[in-house]
Amino acid sequence: MAQKTALITGASSGIGAAFARTAAARGYDLILVARRQERLEALAEECRKAHGVDTEVLAADLAKPEDVAQLVKKIAGLPSLELLVNNAGFGTTGHFADVDLDKHLDMLQVHVTATMRFTHAALEGMIARRKGGIVNVSSLSAFLAMPNAVTYCATKMWLVTFSQALAKELAGTGVHVQVLCPGFTYTEFHDTPEFAKFKRTDVSTGLWMPAADVVNESMAALEADRVVCIPGRKNRLLMALNRSPLGPLLVWMLARKRYE
């Protein structure tokens, strides 16, 4: 079987780790990127043992331009990159003006600049080989414009528009782009100090999804060449509600609690 490689950012936990396990099970060699090297190495060993794939671990902080630049070189030189998952991300809580500006700028770097640069670096080879998939992990928050998550919602909306427009340009090239917009997902996203006061029980259990289910829906949507993937029936219903006259009420309900 021809070699195929998946590069996944933010693979040290949550949705990224689930992408790594799923891609390995489908025979992809893995390049795993995040800051926590030990976590990546443990996951790489697990995937090697379970599926016999090759793995490489690259510790990188995507808020640092020099780390992103190194990865760009790496991606541009990969001869068999078939799947790029721009998944690394984080949230903040509190009003825009109260959150340290450096956090907003780091978020812009991780969610937007790194995604743009990695996608640009991957495309030349993918287009030449007429084969490839790029998954940009956004969020339902992209569509909600919520207070207390201003830069988060804005950067996630950038990912939606970027992916939708790029997918149109790439029609017929054999390269597929998806923007994945999960809702509440069981991961470490809400375990950071910013969310110390957040309780998962504040959100109805029925709205939470396991990361593996999110990834299974994403991979199925990629195969079906569906550009916007909102995993979970309840999340799709929420988005229908958001488009209705009840949309502002939904945003108020989701954003009414402040966790800072």
Ligand X SMILES: NC(=O)c1ccc[n+]([C@@H]2O[C@H](COP(=O)([O-])OP(=O)(O)OC[C@H]3O[C@@H](n4cnc5c(N)ncnc54)[C@H](OP(=O)(O)O)[C@@H]3O)[C@@H](O)[C@H]2O)c1
Q: Which positions lie near ligand X, rule CB under 6 A? A: 10-16, 34-36, 39, 60-63, 87-90, 110, 137, 139, 182, 184-185, 187-189
Q: How far apart are the first and last CA of the chain?
A: 51
**Catalytic residue, candidates 28, 152, 186, 259:** 152
Rounded Cα–Cα distance for residues 151 and 130 (Å): 35
**Is 152 an annotated catalytic residue?**
yes
* Pick 1 or 66: Cβ nearer ligand X: 66
Q: In sequence order, what are the residues at sequence separation of 6 or more whose Cβ sits closer than 8 angstroms to the Cβ of residue 234?
A: 183, 206, 207
Minimal distance, residue 54 CB to ligand X, in Å: 20
CA-angle at 170, arms to 173 and 229, nearest 5°: 115
* Pick 53 or 137: Cβ nearer ligand X: 137
Q: Which of 187, 149, 161, 159 is nearest to 34 (CA)?
A: 187
Tokens of 202: 């504040």
Minimal distance, residue 126 CB to ligand X, in Å: 22
Radius of gyration of the chain (CA): 18
* Pick 14 or 132: Cβ nearer ligand X: 14
Q: Tell me if 165 sits within 8 A of 171, measured CB to CB.
A: no
Minimal distance, residue 215 CB to ligand X, in Å: 10
Minimal distance, residue 170 CB to ligand X, in Å: 22
Rounded Cα–Cα distance for residues 189 and 187 (Å): 5
* Pick 76 or 207: Cβ nearer ligand X: 207
Q: At what angle do helices 247-255 and 233-243 cross, to 10 degrees?
A: 120
- Residues annotated as catalytic are 152
